[in-house]
Amino acid sequence: MRTPDQPETDGAISGSIEQAISLIAFVDPDRISAERLPAPEGRALRLHRAGAVAAIVDLVPIADFCGVDAERHLTDVSWLAPRVRRHAEILAWAMQFSPVFPVPFGTLYTSIESLGAFMAAHEATIARFLLNASDKEEWELRAAARLDDPAILDQLARKAWPEWASLTSGIRYMRLCRDKESLRDFGRAEAAAVADRLVQELEPLTAGRRNRNLEGTDLVARHAFLVPKENAAALSRRVAELNNRLGAETVELTLSGPWPPFSFRPPLDRPPLHSAN
């Protein structure tokens, strides 16, 4: 008989020399049962429970992720895209029934025992996260500077250059040709300040916020919000209202979601066998 502290797997599953355990997410075992698990493409998923948390897992060929074929697979969009999409679809399915601790695609364990040991070591942290994330979703807010409209550039020039109004059209044109990039930098700073104020207006509808990396983007702000599901529609409406209110301002907001709460996961040490991300 299994004691309360022993791990439990609904459906036989074990890693082998040819196969590995692919971890998809940690979930609340009281809200997702093995009988409810989908079977995408005819492949049965399994639910492995360890104490107060459970893992949705799958068996995958280890050669797909480790060895001579792995580098080719992980750079081949035609191979990678359907598998990443399947991973995302399973996460979206799980979010309908349980809070999820999402795991990046390609996170592998050599055996169910090694996964169970990891879960036992982090059970309290994972369970606390699932409790805090219950009935919540991640939404992303992006703020972009609108700097291509001549009217907006004129508005910015009036703020940045006090003498602008007194210049002739010809001198204005020459000034823009010479200093357009510095004016755009001024505009991005203005847009970032506006975005910061708008984010403060949105925060009462959220349960948490994380700043996202702007490197490699043209954005002036990028935030992840943890949003109670009951507030999601109100948040979307509020962003639309703010965009309407902005009018000729230099910033435009875009809201997307819901997403699994990747941005709010606590760090877990002792990495698995492999992660593709």
Quick check: is 119 in a domain?
Answer: yes
- CA–CA separation, 207 and 203 (whole Å): 8
Quick check: is 67 in a domain?
Answer: yes
The pLDDT, as a whole number, for residue 40 is: 64
Quick check: is 1 in a domain?
Answer: no
pLDDT level of residue 146 (50, 70, 90 thresholds): confident
Quick check: is 273 in a domain?
Answer: no
In terms of Cβ atoms closer than 10 Å to its own Cβ (0-12, 13-18, 19+), residue 250 is buried
Number of domains in the chain: 2
Quick check: is 34 in a domain?
Answer: yes
| pLDDT score of 125 more than 80 | yes
The pLDDT, as a whole number, for residue 33 is: 78
* Last residue in a domain, options 73, 99, 133: 133
The pLDDT, as a whole number, for residue 270 is: 56
Here the CATH number for the domain that contains residue 167 is 3.30.70
- Same-domain check for residues 154 and 127: no
Of the candidate ranges 88-97, 151-160, 182-191, 220-229, the one whose mean pLDDT is the lowest: 151-160
- Same-domain check for residues 153 and 213: yes
Once rounded to an integer, what is the mean pLDDT over residues 179-185? Answer: 80
- Same-domain check for residues 83 and 158: no
The pLDDT, as a whole number, for residue 103 is: 95
7 compared with 96, residue with greater pLDDT: 96
- Same-domain check for residues 120 and 175: no
- Same-domain check for residues 256 and 155: yes
- Structural domain that includes position 230: 138-260
pTM: 0.78
Once rounded to an integer, what is the mean pLDDT over residues 111-136? Answer: 94
Q: Could you read off the pLDDT of 63-74 as tens digits, one per residue?
A: 777 777 777 777
- Same-domain check for residues 172 and 106: no
- Same-domain check for residues 88 and 170: no
* Last residue in a domain, options 83, 110, 133: 133
Q: Please give the angle made by the CA atoms of 164, 245 and 260, to the nearest 5 degrees.
A: 120
- Same-domain check for residues 80 and 176: no
The pLDDT, as a whole number, for residue 12 is: 47
- Same-domain check for residues 166 and 85: no
* Last residue in a domain, options 133, 151, 186: 133
- Same-domain check for residues 188 and 253: yes
- Same-domain check for residues 170 and 144: yes
Please answer whether residues 107 and 265 qualify as being in contact, where contact means their C-beta atoms are separated by less than 8 angstroms: no
Of the segments 36-45, 123-132, 141-150, which one has the largest average pLDDT value? 123-132
Please answer whether residues 22 and 104 qualify as being in contact, where contact means their C-beta atoms are separated by less than 8 angstroms: no
- CA–CA separation, 49 and 52 (whole Å): 8
- Same-domain check for residues 102 and 189: no
